[in-house]
Amino acid sequence: MATYTERDVAVIGNGLMGASIARALARSGWRVTAYDPDTARARVLATELPGIRAEADLGTAVASAPLVLTCAPSYEAVLRSLECVGDWNGKTLVNTGTSSTAEAEHAAAWAARKGVPYLDAAILCFPQDIGTERGYVLFSGNPEAWARHEELIAALGPATRFISEQAQAASAVDLTIVGGVYVAALAAYVDAAAYAHSQGVSGDVLDEATDKVLAALKDGAKEAVAAIGSGDFTTDQATLSVFTHGGETCLDGMRGAGFAANVLEAAVRNLKTAEAAGLGRSGFYALAQVAGGDSAAGRQQ
């Protein structure tokens, strides 16, 4: 018979993000059992707050709580390690590591075979943001499991919410916003800022120009979502060909100054692909019609 209560949670994986999750839960009054293959991590974490205790055995950690929350880089490794758990009765499994949508679906199928309700999470913030006003975590999967544990999960941040019964939905947002936007955009910005610095542009001037462009980018992102949803890529502003020419000019300038500008090169290559597909007179967002390769272009023409 289980000896835990609904106030108990097991956090499996105590790296930077997992430790932040454990701290946020403990500070909100939940009783946390911390487990990590590197047992020293769990022991150190347990010394920080009275609401956290370390457990050296994975099976015992899972048995200690109705909610088992994993935070590790590899879904495959997590599921392989959890094979040792024989009794999932009354429990919910939550995976919070970054995964592909296929990995999320695989994890949900694994959980279904074990008879355990499953939630997949996308953490769209840094470890220091967990448990603060900036904490932003999306969940998808079993709605009953969400309803059962919503109060506990809310300790991760006020923007934490459930978005879909499709287990892979949170992962899709993660890949879109973190990988497709944040990582790519920040990498492009670092390239560009390094170039600007080499040309004697002051930090103040660059900050001011950046603020203006980011405001326009925010508006553009909303327009892109609407255009992709409607399939209407007409424009009375700059056409895709104008952006292609401008991008090539910028790329030549940065390359001429000795900068690789690899992210910009990829963007220009995408624009040229769209232009070659006959989309030059459409708006920038017509890139969506070639984003998935030939098959996507064929479906949308």
Domain of residue 281, CATH code: 1.10.1040.10
Q: 292 or 270: whose pLDDT is higher? A: 270
Predicted confidence (pLDDT) at residue 174 exceeds the cutoff of 60: yes
Predicted confidence (pLDDT) at residue 299 exceeds the cutoff of 60: no
pLDDT in tens, 210-235: 999 999 999 999 999 999 999 999 99
What CA–CA distances, in Å, run from 296 to 208, 293, 299? 38, 6, 5
Q: List Cβ neighbours of 201 (8 Å cut-off, separation of 6 or more).
A: none
Which residue, 222, 219, 121, 211, is CA-closest to 162? 121
Predicted confidence (pLDDT) at residue 250 exceeds the cutoff of 90: yes
Residues 267 and 153 in one domain: no
Query: Strands 67-70 and 92-95, how do they pair?
Result: parallel
- Which 8-state DSSP code applies to residue 67? E
Residues 75 and 123 in one domain: yes
Q: At what angle do helices 101-114 and 75-82 cross, to 10 degrees?
A: 10
Q: Is residue 182 part of a domain?
A: no
Rounded-to-integer distance, Cα 109 and Cα 118, Å: 9
Predicted confidence (pLDDT) at residue 295 exceeds the cutoff of 50: no
Torsional class of 167: left (φ above 0), alpha (ψ -120 to 50), beta (otherwise) = alpha
What is the pLDDT, as a whole number, of residue 301? 41
What is the pLDDT, as a whole number, of residue 172? 96
Read off the pLDDT of each residue in 117-141 and give the average, rounded to a whole number.
97
Read off the pLDDT of each residue in 277-286 and give the average, rounded to a whole number.
97
- In one-letter notation, the amino acid at residue 11 is V
Q: Is residue 195 part of a domain?
A: no
Read off the pLDDT of each residue in 15-31 and give the average, rounded to a whole number.
97
Instruction: Name the one residue in this structure whose structure tokens are 């941040």.
Output: 157
Rounded-to-integer distance, Cα 118 and Cα 96, Å: 11
Considering its fold, how many domains does the chain have in total? 2
Last residue of a domain, one of 117, 149, 166: 166
Residues 48 and 154 in one domain: yes
Q: Is residue 174 part of a domain?
A: no
Q: Is residue 233 part of a domain?
A: yes
What is the pLDDT, as a whole number, of residue 1? 45
What is the Cα Rg of the chain in Å?
23
Domain of residue 40, CATH code: 3.40.50.720
**Tokens of residue 3, six digits:** 């000896």
Residues 147 and 52 in one domain: yes
Give the domain range for residue 264: 202-300
Provide the percentage of residues in the chain whose pLDDT is more than 90.
Answer: 91
Predicted confidence (pLDDT) at residue 300 exceeds the cutoff of 80: no
pLDDT in tens, 52-95: 999 999 999 999 999 999 999 889 999 999 998 989 999 999 99
Q: What is the mean pLDDT of the chain?
A: 94
The 3-state DSSP class for residue 42 equals helix
Q: Which residues pair with 122 in a beta bridge?
A: 138
Q: Is residue 194 part of a domain?
A: no
pLDDT band at 3 (very low <50, low <70, confident <90, very high): confident
Exposed / middle / buried, residue 258 (Cβ in 10 Å: 0-12, 13-18, 19+):
exposed
H/E run at residue 113: helix 101-114
Other residues' Cβ atoms within 10 Å of the Cβ of residue 272: 16
Which residue, 116, 119, 111, 14, is CA-closest to 61? 14
Torsional class of 90: left (φ above 0), alpha (ψ -120 to 50), beta (otherwise) = left
